[in-house]
Amino acid sequence: MSKILQATSRGQVTLPKSWRDQYKTQYFTTEIQGATLVIKPLIQEDFGASVESAWSEYKKGDYIASEALMNKYGL
């Protein structure tokens, strides 16, 4: 299903409630794959993997503020 979403002046986009209700989480991960933005629900089973990804990125020297890192990985 496709839908056109409009970003607010602060760059925020709201996912439709019907989409959010399909998952038992309030957290989503995002990544850019070429010209595509991928948004995936962060379910409890994936939480550990997200923490590992965040830590791995930090160790590589891709330093960003902890709040930004937490936001990126839905922590």
Do the Cβ atoms of 4 and 11 come closer than 8 Å?
no
Do the Cβ atoms of 73 and 51 come closer than 8 Å?
yes
Please report the pLDDT score of residue 23 as a whole number.
85
- The pLDDT averaged over each successive group of 10 residues in the chain (75 residues) is 89 91 83 90 69 71 68 73
Which amino acid is it at 30?
T
Phi-psi region of 61 (alpha: psi -120 to 50; beta: other; left: phi over 0): left
From CA 73, how far away is CA 42, in angstroms rounded?
9
Please report the pLDDT score of residue 36 as a whole number.
92
